[in-house]
Structure 1
């Protein structure tokens, strides 16, 4: 199995089918797998949270986020 070719093939599927594949793969992960963010990911989340605390007006509500996502479909 060539993983790069499989990923390339999957990328041609409609979004809904790709999401089904993501969910199916996610469901195969063992319960004891470490899903903690890497140090770099944690640092980025901390940076974004600090930026939000410094200027909360830059955030949008959950409803607004969902409206924007639906608008793109």
Structure 2
């Protein structure tokens, strides 16, 4: 398979079709459940966040609270 030739064909498609291709590719990756290894800094950040949650389990926001906060702080053009 010539990846460059395939990519050159893909860029000629509509954005909608390219999004469909990306979604289809992602679905095949997700189905295999193979994920890249985390870097050390990513592991440390996850450990920090888990530790923070374990220390402060009540210090969380619901999805609704987050959306409301974002909406409240949007800059109006």
TM-score by length of 1: 0.46
Larger radius of gyration: 2
